[in-house]
């Protein structure tokens, strides 16, 4: 039932499960492993599409839940889709809304039919079935759509996990049936909590339905990093080698390195953008908090090794001043730096896999960390 | 005592007092009449220096009071001045801090010696003498510095106005004496309230001291536009034709047209940047409020006649969405549009004066206004 895979493998690491490849969407091709900046409400917060292009972002993420509520998928469809509405020429992946609805907690009720919830904006009653989730994403015109899934709290018992995972399977089947615009890719989401055998079973059930790619969901929800890495490895082992693998909502720079090591192709996370707005900046030596008084007179850039617009033109002292003064330019320059850091990390990871020296790269990456 | 004038006249209107010229600073030359975007705290809010260059901003304004308080002029001096600190390659004019201190009201006490005030940030006691104002601006390295003046509330009696204006003259003399870095220009500020004869007397007193340019201060403080225009004309009539004239803190697009008509060369105002952040956008037909529900489905740009980045790439519906969602990109795109509108207006005014058809230009400008 699945179409030809959108994934093309370039090369495999001989040292680990890392792989170098590309994914073809109707919008173009992106190189993997890839990090996708998050653009929740039709904008990657605090930067323009041109800023993203300059830092070689290839694909960004949009949040179905947010766009469904405001400004509405029909409005965006009338503009020819999200790409045109927001002026983004790269690829777009939309999530299904499941995770956001799950995050609403007492505002949401999950039934066999779908998710009933109240808008976080005005409290109005809304409903999203698996079919709705696909329809909304088809209207948004995203290049990669995600199945509506039920997220599993951490920790959960084996029985709770089985119930939620089986519902996710039934929803995945309904999403696949509702998927009419086949030029937009649809990914399934593997759940199974922290139970390796449930993850394996769920992966097999989804593969049986057949999707254009497979995501690893339900991780980075409070478990220790090592558990997340183990669950990633276990899940990847059950996924077909010829389809893209996407670890959802992950993570720190360390998490990206470890995820790639275990065979993941795609990542997304609000961390670089959200941290930027809080003054937390990534460097090759670790994170720094730009509001720290020790940067008051600091003439050096955020990261001597960084070639981003912010580091080429501004000192830590200036960035600290902007942050203290709550200037909008602070969020802009910090976001450019953090996203550039993430995207450059991924570009360097891709090069390392091509040269088959990713183990050495990973060792160097850790040996440079000083700050924490 | 004054140096050679930095002003070169290109041509005079035969229809009014408008004039086309240029001002040379140590940073370069800017074309007049000019509008100067306001960059209060070492950044024009919500845009980068590159954004400003793209819209042909030639000179920006920095606020001495704010930079004195945070991050401090000594810190900025250690970076080689404000240009380098904030990465701005055009000219910079700094105000003296007088207007901001005046705005603090109960936090400020004016004596013969200078202005005692409390920081609006932490309440700490500070003092700024005329000599301090020049020293701080010399440290900031601005291309054009302003004398410390005493601002006169509106309305004020003739006696109050005389007292304040005479103090401003004594402070202007002290500023001139303290002015050691003569490659940085120093402008005097003509006060005199709404009394034409006091404005004339004050202009003569300042010309007697001798400055590199003359500003018209104390207007746009609550008086009716026609009064402001009349006071501008009266003051300009007393100023030397071979020196630049600067109408401080003004104003609306209409005010710019009327100021140029009466012979003003330079303007600054927070209006385009502040309005942008409030969703109020300038167009050739008048102002619009982008949050208005009638723009919900509007596929057209803010202004069909505008060639700015925002109008080339985004619809009113998208801008409304960003504004409603309080996205940082909203402030960025709105600011780009409004500043582009102001700077293009001035560029078109310059062309009209060159062709000596500014009266026609002014008539067309008013005839297009529909919205208010």
Domain-embedded: residue B107: yes
Q: Which of B38, B82, B325 to mutate to test the interface with A (most CBs of A within 10 A)?
A: B325
Residues of A in contact with B79 (CB under 8 A): 299, 315, 317-318
Taking an 8 Å cut-off on Cβ atoms, the answer to whether B315 and A85 are in contact is yes
Dump pLDDT digits (tens) for A275-328. Answer: 999 999 999 999 999 999 999 999 999 999 999 999 999 999 999 999 999 999
Q: What rounded mean pLDDT belongs to chain A? A: 96
Over residues A179-208, mean pLDDT: 98
Say whether pLDDT at A2 is over 60.
Answer: no
From the number of C-beta atoms within 10 Å of its C-beta (0-12, 13-18, 19+), residue B312 rates as exposed
Contact A108, A102 (CB under 8 A): yes
| Residue after which a domain boundary falls, among B269, B288, B307 | B269
Quick one: B203 and B79 in the same domain? yes
Helical (H) or strand (E) element with B260: helix B253-261
Dump pLDDT digits (tens) for A131-174. Answer: 999 999 999 999 999 999 998 989 999 999 999 999 999 999 99
Say whether pLDDT at B372 is over 80.
Answer: no
Dump pLDDT digits (tens) for A243-279. Answer: 999 999 999 999 999 999 999 999 999 999 999 999 9
> Of chain A residues 78-97, which have a CB less than 8 A from chain B?
78-79, 85-87
Give the 3-state secondary structure of residue B251.
coil
Say whether pLDDT at B106 is over 90.
Answer: no
| Residue after which a domain boundary falls, among B269, B296, B323 | B269
Domain-embedded: residue A1: no
| Residue after which a domain boundary falls, among A269, A300, A315 | A269
Q: How confident is the model at residue B272 (pLDDT cuts 50, 70, 90)?
A: very high
Report the residue from A41, A325, A329 with minimal CB separation from B70: A325
Q: What rounded mean pLDDT belongs to chain B? A: 96
Tell me whether B121 touches chain A (CB under 8 Å).
Answer: no
DSSP states along A43-73:
S-TT--HHHHHHTT--EEEE-HHHHHHTT-H
Taking an 8 Å cut-off on Cβ atoms, the answer to whether B329 and A47 are in contact is yes
What is the spatial distance between Cα B359 and Cα B350, in angstroms, rounded to a whole number?
Answer: 12
Domain-embedded: residue A144: yes
Quick one: A46 and A84 in the same domain? yes
Report the residue from A78, A317, A331 with minimal CB separation from B75: A317
Quick one: A41 and A138 in the same domain? yes
DSSP states along B12-30:
E-SSSS-EEEEEEETTEEE
| pLDDT of amino acid B98 | 87
Over residues B213-223, mean pLDDT: 95
Contact A151, A99 (CB under 8 A): yes
Contact A206, A233 (CB under 8 A): no
Dump pLDDT digits (tens) for A19-38. Answer: 999 999 999 999 999 999 99
User: Which residues have C-beta within 8 Å of that of residue B181, sequence separation ≥ 6?
Assistant: B138
As for the ipTM of the complex, it is 0.97
Q: How confident is the model at residue A372 (pLDDT cuts 50, 70, 90)?
A: low
Domain-embedded: residue A372: no
Catalytic residue list of A: 95, 268
Domain-embedded: residue B362: yes
Quick one: A189 and A290 in the same domain? no
Quick one: A97 and A221 in the same domain? yes
The DSSP letter of residue A306 is -
What is the spatial distance between Cα A143 and Cα A240, in angstroms, rounded to a whole number?
Answer: 21
Quick one: A284 and A177 in the same domain? no
Quick one: B58 and B186 in the same domain? yes
| pLDDT of amino acid B327 | 98
Dump pLDDT digits (tens) for A69-116. Answer: 999 999 999 999 999 999 999 999 999 998 888 888 778 899 999 999
Q: What is the CATH number of the domain that holds A74?
A: 3.20.20.105
Considering its fold, how many domains does chain A have in total? 2
Quick one: B281 and B257 in the same domain? no
Tokens of A6: 């959108």
Quick one: B107 and B196 in the same domain? yes
Say whether pLDDT at B215 is over 50.
Answer: yes
Say whether pLDDT at A223 is over 90.
Answer: yes
Domain-embedded: residue B163: yes
Query: Minimum mean pLDDT among A53-57, B119-123, B273-277: which range?
Result: B119-123
Gap from B315 CA to chain A (nearest CA, Å) = 8
> Measuring CA to CA, how many Å separate A25 from each of A29, A184, A190, A245, B13?
6, 8, 21, 15, 60
Tell me whether B46 touches chain A (CB under 8 Å).
Answer: yes
Quick one: B308 and B189 in the same domain? no
Quick one: A75 and A13 in the same domain? yes
| pLDDT of amino acid B168 | 97
Q: Which of A212, A217, A253 is nearest to A232 (CA)?
A: A217
B268 labelled catalytic: yes
Say whether pLDDT at B2 is over 70.
Answer: no
Contact B222, B154 (CB under 8 A): yes
What is the spatial distance between Cα A20 and Cα A202, in angstroms, rounded to a whole number?
Answer: 26
Structural domain including A346 reads 276-367
Q: How confident is the model at residue B1 (pLDDT cuts 50, 70, 90)?
A: very low
Q: Give bridge partners of residue A74 from the DSSP assignment.
A: none
Domain-embedded: residue B372: no
Q: How confident is the model at residue A1 (pLDDT cuts 50, 70, 90)?
A: very low
Dump pLDDT digits (tens) for B48-74. Answer: 999 999 999 999 999 999 999 999 999
Quick one: A222 and A323 in the same domain? no
Domain-embedded: residue A18: yes
């Amino acid at each position: 039932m699945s179409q030809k895979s959108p994934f093309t493998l370039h090369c495999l690491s001989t040292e680990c499960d890392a792989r170098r490849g590309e994914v073809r969407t109707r919008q173009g091709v992106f190189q993997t492993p890839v990090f996708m900046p998050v653009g929740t409400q039709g904008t990657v917060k605090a930067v323009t599409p041109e800023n993203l292009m300059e830092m070689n972002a290839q694909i960004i993420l949009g949040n179905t839940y947010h766009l469904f509520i405001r400004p509405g998928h029909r409005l965006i469809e009338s503009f020819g889709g999200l790409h045109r509405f927001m002026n983004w020429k790269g690829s777009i992946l939309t999530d299904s809304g499941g995770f956001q609805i799950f995050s609403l907690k007492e505002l949401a009720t999950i039934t066999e039919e779908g998710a009933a919830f109240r808008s976080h904006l005005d409290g109005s009653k809304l409903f999203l079935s698996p079919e709705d989730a696909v329809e909304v994403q088809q209207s948004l015109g995203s290049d990669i759509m995600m199945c509506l899934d039920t997220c599993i709290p951490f920790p959960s018992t084996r029985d709770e996990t089985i119930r939620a995972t089986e519902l996710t399977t039934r929803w995945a089947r309904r999403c696949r049936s509702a998927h009419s615009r086949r030029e937009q890719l649809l990914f399934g989401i593997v759940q199974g909590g922290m139970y390796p055998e449930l993850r394996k079973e769920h992966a097999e059930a989804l593969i049986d339905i057949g999707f254009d790619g497979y995501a690893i969901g339900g991780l980075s929800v409070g478990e220790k990093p090592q558990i997340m890495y183990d669950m990633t490895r276990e899940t990847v082992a059950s996924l077909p080698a010829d389809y893209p693998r996407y670890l959802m909502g992950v993570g720190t720079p360390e998490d990206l390195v470890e995820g790639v090591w275990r065979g993941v192709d795609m990542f997304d996370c609000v961390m670089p953008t959200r941290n930027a707005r809080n003054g937390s900046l990534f460097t090759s030596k670790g994170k720094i908090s730009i509001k720290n008084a020790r940067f008051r007179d600091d003439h050096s850039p955020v990261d001597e090794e960084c070639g981003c617009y912010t580091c080429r033109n501004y000192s830590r002292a200036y960035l600290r001043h902007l942050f203290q003064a709550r200037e909008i330019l602070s969020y802009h320059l910090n976001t450019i730096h953090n996203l550039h850091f993430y995207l450059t990390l991924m570009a360097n990871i891709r090069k390392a896999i091509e040269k088959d020296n990713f183990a050495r790269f990973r060792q160097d990456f850790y040996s440079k960390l000083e700050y924490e």
